[in-house]
């Protein structure tokens, strides 16, 4: 009989904790949630006060059976899942399914996986916090209700197989609105004046604070500078300081890992999870910036040992968010003396970021001397300004400096060191330029900047940022892309040696790297939801729901009451919208076809965005074309739309058969001898060459020849697939068990594998539907 059974979520976490506990403890993993809402019609019994029906999924039944057996033969079961609401719910489900009670089970929590933390948790157990469980249940049920009642409306009114969600739809709204701001933005140009000087053999620049909208005004200014003296009007030296940023929360870690390391939000969370489970960092889902007294003391010791007493300045940061009660600390290293940790290069980079940010937060301010010099132009009385900066004491900058997001304003934070000057000094002017600069719209969202805005608006919580972004990308409402910019000319007018000259230069504008773009489907769905379900799409409503979850977690309100107040008005709105709202396609009239004189439309069709020529009102049958990647129904022009009908096109003959290129339901393709060959993502169907088409045909022929391993009677084949060899019969595929050589399979062995697979398969269940009254 086992004396103590400790249950955690993951094998990695179990392995780490097992090192700290003696032989009286057995540590096992439940592999996350062991129960979830039923996918059937009775998942949520609305009429029975929102009573949920939970089931153990088939892939968790063996795990539950093992844990039940171990729990039955243990004196005490320690439920050691994560300390947040999701972790509390896992412990509650374990308690319910394993039949545990207060006598034979204990709940323990810790925010770091270290021996002192684990032993302290064992010494201070508590009961399961039902308020936290109820908050998790409320979120799970509300999101199920919203998604499963709203999605069928979209199937009927927009397009089949769409989905909506309380948080995901609002996140998509942010991206759609930003894209429209960019589309509607009118770029304006102005001339920026920069003068280059030399004084005491040192060169530096100064700038005119104003800009000229008109070219002639810029030239007029340069003309007035001819034969001028440039005299120092004033020199002002100001001491200043820079303070370090607070330690990481989930949101700030995701943002900084994106800016500094190029990690996606989900990648950051995966790496942080591994570092946490290995005992290297504290719990990674938190909106707290607090550090424990022990952590502050350990950081001070590390700073003093490495950099000296002068660099140490312990700080206690205050968390602004009211929802941060559950998370005890910011994300920090568990052992500050460990400057490197992680199993691979990416984990090590993220750990290094966390270590430096935390250490910097406990270091002295950087001391800066800022010099501001005003320079008067004798002929026109205008004042040029230059600012220099000298770091007198680096402080926390010795370790870490936070990066900034891209903005619509030019970044001029790179300040140079100026030569020593005093009032009355006459400076040597080398050059004055008037450079044409253009205004920029707000930048498109990156994953990190989206998380930042979601946090500021109160949309979601640390545990939901990454899953929300993953969902909207997976469901095709948003695309993450890099796009090439376009060339743009700009003018530089120069005054040098009292001679004015100008030149035209070229720059790339509009280039994007790993930015979030709304798809046409995402845009149309957003517009429909905003028109018919403004409450669900309202930023304040979404934030208020999160606050209500927080209040449930604190025991301030009852969770079923909150659901009841939301559900009935929402359900009535669903019913009325289903009856009265019209089907939408985002249709946009582009104009008239120059030859057929038929109307041309851009809209959402059954299989996605498309162009339609003809409305079917006469004898001419409408024709359709799919949009190219990067095109949208909101922006495409008539000329661009007509180009799409240049397909299919014939290249030439190959093996006495013509090669045709077209775009079909599943994307661009080559057709040859009644066979179809998909184009690679890098191939453009409008530009693909004859030689490239033959190359693709031969590549597929070779792959198909290598695909067949065996052909057996009874319509059975053994094939090479994407994930390895498999058996196929009558269009059904079957996995080959490990240890069996595919080439050696007999007909009898294949039939046995197929029969066993059929016997072990489980029937598919339907999704939750609203119960009929």
Per-residue DSSP letter, 667: E
Please, is 715 exposed, middle or buried when counting C-beta atoms within 10 Å of its C-beta (0-12, 13-18, 19+)?
exposed
In degrees, to the nearest 5, what angle opens at C-alpha 233 toward C-alphas 231 and 237?
A: 125
Q: How many residues does the chain have?
A: 773
Of these ranges, 145-154, 208-217, 310-319, the one predicted with the greatest mean pLDDT is: 208-217
Say what the pLDDT of residue 345 is. 93
Percent helix, strand, coil in the chain, to 5, is 35, 25, 35
> How far, in Å, CA of 191 to CA of 305, rounded?
52
Say what the pLDDT of residue 325 is. 44
pLDDT at 666 over 80: no
Q: What is the largest CA-CA distance in the chain?
A: 101
pLDDT at 272 over 80: yes
Please, is 648 exposed, middle or buried when counting C-beta atoms within 10 Å of its C-beta (0-12, 13-18, 19+)?
middle
Q: Would residue 726 show up in a list of annotated catalytic residues for this protein? A: no
Say what the pLDDT of residue 767 is. 36
> How far, in Å, CA of 567 to CA of 573, rounded?
10
pLDDT in tens, 688-698: 899 999 999 99
> How far, in Å, CA of 71 to CA of 62, rounded?
14
For residue 126, give the 3-state DSSP assignment: strand
For residue 41, give the 3-state DSSP assignment: coil
Lowest mean pLDDT among 22-26, 186-190, 275-279, 603-607: 603-607
When pLDDT is cut at 50, 70 and 90, the band that residue 407 belongs to is: low
> How far, in Å, CA of 712 to CA of 60, rounded?
36
Tell which residue, 443, 469, 470, has the closest CA to residue 455.
Answer: 469
Give me the mean pLDDT over the 11-34 stretch.
89
pLDDT in tens, 541-574: 888 998 999 999 999 999 999 999 999 999 999 9
DSSP string, 437-475: EE--PPPPPPHHHHHHHHHHHT-S-TTTHHHHHHHHHHT
Give me the mean pLDDT over the 612-638 stretch.
84
Q: What are the C-alpha distances in Å from 357 to residues 280, 343, 366, 429?
A: 15, 20, 15, 43
Tell which residue, 440, 432, 491, 501, has the closest CA to residue 214.
Answer: 491
pLDDT at 733 over 60: yes
Say what the pLDDT of residue 773 is. 37
The answer to whether 712 touches 679, Cβ cutoff 8 Å, is no
Q: What are the C-alpha distances in Å from 588 to residues 592, 604, 638?
A: 12, 10, 11
> How far, in Å, CA of 125 to CA of 134, rounded?
20
Q: Strands 478-483, 649-654: parallel, antiparallel or unpaired by DSSP? A: unpaired
Please, is 285 exposed, middle or buried when counting C-beta atoms within 10 Å of its C-beta (0-12, 13-18, 19+)?
buried
Lowest mean pLDDT among 377-391, 431-445, 609-623: 609-623
> How far, in Å, CA of 362 to CA of 302, rounded?
10
pLDDT at 413 over 50: no
pLDDT in tens, 74-133: 999 999 998 889 999 999 999 999 999 888 899 999 888 989 989 999 999 999 999 999
For residue 373, give the 3-state DSSP assignment: strand
Burial 326-358 (b: 16+ CB within 10 A, else e): bbbbbbbbbebeeeebbeeebbbbbbbbbbbbb
DSSP strand E in 633-736: where? 649-654, 657-664, 667-672, 675-678, 708-712, 716-721, 724-729, 732-735
pLDDT at 340 over 50: yes
- Please state whether the peptide bond connecting residue 111 to the residue before it is cis, i.e. omega within 30 degrees of 0: no
Q: What are the C-alpha distances in Å from 621 to residues 155, 574, 609?
A: 26, 36, 19
pLDDT in tens, 35-53: 999 887 778 999 899 999 9
For residue 45, give the 3-state DSSP assignment: strand
Say what the pLDDT of residue 403 is. 72
Please, is 318 exposed, middle or buried when counting C-beta atoms within 10 Å of its C-beta (0-12, 13-18, 19+)?
exposed
When pLDDT is cut at 50, 70 and 90, the band that residue 685 belongs to is: confident
pTM: predicted TM-score of the whole model, two decimal places: 0.80
For residue 203, give the 3-state DSSP assignment: strand
pLDDT exceeding 90 applies to what percent of the chain? Answer: 59
pLDDT at 327 over 50: no
Q: What are the C-alpha distances in Å from 598 to residues 18, 161, 461, 591, 647?
A: 73, 31, 51, 9, 18
pLDDT at 710 over 60: yes
275-278 long-range contacts, CB within 8 A, separation 24+: 275/341, 275/342, 275/347, 275/350, 275/351, 275/354, 276/13, 276/112, 276/113, 277/10, 277/12, 277/13, 277/16, 277/113, 278/12, 278/16, 278/113, 278/341, 278/342, 278/343
When pLDDT is cut at 50, 70 and 90, the band that residue 212 belongs to is: very high
* Count of C-beta atoms within a 10 Å radius of residue 414: 6
Q: Which of 54, 191, 276, 283 is catalytic?
A: 283
Say what the pLDDT of residue 583 is. 87
Q: What is the separation of C-alpha 513 from the centre of its chain, rounded to a whole number of angstroms? A: 14
When pLDDT is cut at 50, 70 and 90, the band that residue 346 belongs to is: very high
The alpha carbon torsion through 421, 426, 432, 434 (nearest 10 deg) reads 70
pLDDT at 768 over 70: no
Lowest mean pLDDT among 96-100, 407-411, 597-601: 407-411
Say what the pLDDT of residue 772 is. 41
pLDDT in tens, 567-598: 999 999 999 999 888 888 888 899 999 988 88
Say what the pLDDT of residue 771 is. 41
Instruction: Give the HSE-up count for residue 390: Cα atoms under 13 Å, Cβ half-sphere.
Output: 11
> How far, in Å, CA of 398 to CA of 142, rounded?
48
pLDDT in tens, 741-760: 998 999 999 999 999 888 87
Say what the pLDDT of residue 323 is. 53
pLDDT at 33 over 60: yes
Say what the pLDDT of residue 246 is. 93
DSSP string, 487-516: EEEEEEEEEETTEEEEEEEEEEES-EEEEE
* Mean pLDDT for the chain overall: 89
Say what the pLDDT of residue 232 is. 95
The answer to whether 196 touches 430, Cβ cutoff 8 Å, is yes
> How far, in Å, CA of 19 to CA of 278, rounded?
11
pLDDT at 309 over 60: yes
Say what the pLDDT of residue 646 is. 81
DSSP strand E in 90-152: where? 105-107
User: Which are the contacts of 557, defined by CB distance < 8 A and separation ≥ 6?
Assistant: 548, 551
For residue 211, give the 3-state DSSP assignment: coil
The answer to whether 451 touches 209, Cβ cutoff 8 Å, is no
Say what the pLDDT of residue 758 is. 84
Angle between helices 539-553 and 559-580 (to 10 degrees): 150
Per-residue DSSP letter, 705: H
Say what the pLDDT of residue 112 is. 87
Angle between helices 130-157 and 539-553 (to 10 degrees): 150
H helix count then E strand count, the chain: 20, 30
When pLDDT is cut at 50, 70 and 90, the band that residue 331 belongs to is: very high
When pLDDT is cut at 50, 70 and 90, the band that residue 334 belongs to is: very high
pLDDT in tens, 485-532: 899 999 999 999 999 999 999 999 989 999 999 999 999 999 999 999
Say what the pLDDT of residue 409 is. 52
Per-residue DSSP letter, 664: E
pLDDT in tens, 153-197: 999 998 888 888 889 999 999 999 999 999 999 999 999 999 999
């Amino acid at each position: 009989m086992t004396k103590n059974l400790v249950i955690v979520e993951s094998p990695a976490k179990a392995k780490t904790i097992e090192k700290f506990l003696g032989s009286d403890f057995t540590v096992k993993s439940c592999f996350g949630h062991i129960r979830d809402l039923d996918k059937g019609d009775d998942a949520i019994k609305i009429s029975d006060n929102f009573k949920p029906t939970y089931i153990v999924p088939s892939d968790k039944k063996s795990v539950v059976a093992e844990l039940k057996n171990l729990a039955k033969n243990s004196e005490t079961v320690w439920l050691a899942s994560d300390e947040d609401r999701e972790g509390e719910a896992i412990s509650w489900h374990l308690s319910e399914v394993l039949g545990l009670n207060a006598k034979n089970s204990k709940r323990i929590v810790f925010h770091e996986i270290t021996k002192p933390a684990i032993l302290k948790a064992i010494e201070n157990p508590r009961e399961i916090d039902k308020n936290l469980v109820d908050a998790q249940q409320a979120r799970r049920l509300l999101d199920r209700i919203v998604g499963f009642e709203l999605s069928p409306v979209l199937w009927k009114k927009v397009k089949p197989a769409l989905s909506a969600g309380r948080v995901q739809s609002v996140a998509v709204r942010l991206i759609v609105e930003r894209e429209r701001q960019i589309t509607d933005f009118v770029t304006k140009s102005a001339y920026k004046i920069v003068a280059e000087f030399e004084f005491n053999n040192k060169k530096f620049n100064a700038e005119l604070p104003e800009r000229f909208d008109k070219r002639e005004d810029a030239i007029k200014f340069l003309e007035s500078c001819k034969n001028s003296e440039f005299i120092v009007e004033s020199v002002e030296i100001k001491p200043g300081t820079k303070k370090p940023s607070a330690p990481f929360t989930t949101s700030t870690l995701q943002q900084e890992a994106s800016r500094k390391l190029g990690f996606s939000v989900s990648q950051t969370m995966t790496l942080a999870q591994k570092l946490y489970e290995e005992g290297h960092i504290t719990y990674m889902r938190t909106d707290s910036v607090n550090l424990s007294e022990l952590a502050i003391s350990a950081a001070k010791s590390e700073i003093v040992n490495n950099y000296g007493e002068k660099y140490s300045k312990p700080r206690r940061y205050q968390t602004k968010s009211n929802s941060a009660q559950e998370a005890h600390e910011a994300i920090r290293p568990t052992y500050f003396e460990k400057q490197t940790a992680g199993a691979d290069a990416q984990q090590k980079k993220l750990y290094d970021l966390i270590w430096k940010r935390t250490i910097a937060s406990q270091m002295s301010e950087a001391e800066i001397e800022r010099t501001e010099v005003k320079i008067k132009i004798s002929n026109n009385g205008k004042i040029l300004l230059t600012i220099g900066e000298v770091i007198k004491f680096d402080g926390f900058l010795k370790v870490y400096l936070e990066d900034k997001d891209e903005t619509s304003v030019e970044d001029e934070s790179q300040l140079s060191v100026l030569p020593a000057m005093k009032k009355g000094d006459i400076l040597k002017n080398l050059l004055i330029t008037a450079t044409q600069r253009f205004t920029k719209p707000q930048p498109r969202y990156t994953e990190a900047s989206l998380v930042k805005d979601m946090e500021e608006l109160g949309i979601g919580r640390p545990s939901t940022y990454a899953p929300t972004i993953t969902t909207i990308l997976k469901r095709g409402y948003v695309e993450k892309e890099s796009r090439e910019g376009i060339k743009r000319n700009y003018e530089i007018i120069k005054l040098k040696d009292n001679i004015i000259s100008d030149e035209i230069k070229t720059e790339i504008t509009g280039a994007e790297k790993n930015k979030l773009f709304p798809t046409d489907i995402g845009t149309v769905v957003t517009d429909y939801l905003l028109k018919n379900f403004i409450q669900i799409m309202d930023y304040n409503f979404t934030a208020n729901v999160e606050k209500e979850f927080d209040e449930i977690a604190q025991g301030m309100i009852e969770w079923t009451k909150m659901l009841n107040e939301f559900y009935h008005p929402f359900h009535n709105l669903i019913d009325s919208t289903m009856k009265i709202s019209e089907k939408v396609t985002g249709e946009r009239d582009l104009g008239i076809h120059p030859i057929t004189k038929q109307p041309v439309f851009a809209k959402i069709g059954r299989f996605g965005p498309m162009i339609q020529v003809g409305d079917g009102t006469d004898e001419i049958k409408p024709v359709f074309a799919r949009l190219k990647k990067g095109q949208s129904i909101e922006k495409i022009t008539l000329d661009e739309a007509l180009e799409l009908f240049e397909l299919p096109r014939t290249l030439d003959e190959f093996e006495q058969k013509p090669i045709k290129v077209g775009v079909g339901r599943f994307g661009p393709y080559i057709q040859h001898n009644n066979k179809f060959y998909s184009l690679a993502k890098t191939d453009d169907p409008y530009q693909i060459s004859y030689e490239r088409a033959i190359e693709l045909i031969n590549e597929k022929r070779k792959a198909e020849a290598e695909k067949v391993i065996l052909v057996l009677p009874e319509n059975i084949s053994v094939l090479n697939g994407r994930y390895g060899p498999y058996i196929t019969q009558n269009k059904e595929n079957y996995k080959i068990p490990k240890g069996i050589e595919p080439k050696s399979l007999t007909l009898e062995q294949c039939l046995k594998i197929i029969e066993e697979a059929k016997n072990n398969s489980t029937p598919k269940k339907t999704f939750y539907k609203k119960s009929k009254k």
